[in-house]
């Protein structure tokens, strides 16, 4: 058994341990995504492995495109210890539908831009298919 005590982390250490920007850690604390850490006797914030896990959860969720409100909802389920797989699935399915809609929009945008750029001559003349297409909207 290891009897060494785990040294608490400072905010900068938390940021380094997770690869999160220091200002982002501050922001997540301000908006309540990250809980206020306990303070040491000298008043310093004292983060631990639970904070590291939570911040990694938040960062991975952001990487997957979840909004802060969606993340707040997921964390609420975890924090209340009331989550069921069905609850989490409902949030994830809603997010998946949003992602699929964005992909469809981006695919449409890509197609229109490709067609428009293909019509552009690139010549040193004032007429331009891209500008014409934008004016026709």
Q: 3 or 123: whose pLDDT is higher?
A: 123
DSSP3 helix / strand / coil % (the chain, rounded to 5): 65, 5, 35
pLDDT of 4 above 60: no
Measure the CA–CA gap between 15 and 5, rounded to whole angstroms: 21
CATH architecture under which domain 1-83 falls: Orthogonal Bundle (1.10)
Q: 73 or 126: whose pLDDT is higher?
A: 73
CA trace torsion 16, 18, 23, 29 (10° rounding): -130
Give domain limits for the chain: 1-83, 85-137
pLDDT tens, position by position, 74-122? 998 888 877 788 888 998 999 999 999 999 999 999 998 898 888 887 7
Residues facing residue 39 across a β-bridge: 45
* Arithmetic mean of pLDDT, 4-26: 88
Please state whether the predicted TM-score (pTM) of the whole model is above 0.85. no
In this prediction, residue 60 has a pLDDT band, given cuts at 50, 70 and 90, of very high
């Amino acid at each position: 058994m290891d009897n060494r005590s785990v040294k608490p982390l400072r905010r900068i250490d938390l940021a380094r341990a997770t690869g999160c920007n220091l200002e982002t850690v501050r922001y997540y604390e301000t908006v309540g995504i990250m809980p206020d850490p306990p303070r040491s006797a000298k008043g310093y914030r004292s983060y631990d492995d639970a904070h590291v896990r939570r911040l990694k959860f938040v960062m991975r969720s952001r990487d997957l495109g979840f909004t802060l409100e969606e993340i707040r909802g997921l964390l609420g389920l975890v924090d209340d210890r009331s989550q069921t797989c069905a609850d989490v699935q409902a949030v994830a399915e809603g997010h998946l539908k949003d992602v699929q809609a964005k992909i469809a929009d981006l695919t449409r945008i890509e197609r229109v831009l490709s067609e428009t750029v293909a019509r552009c001559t690139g010549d040193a003349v004032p007429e331009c298919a891209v500008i014409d297409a934008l004016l026709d909207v």
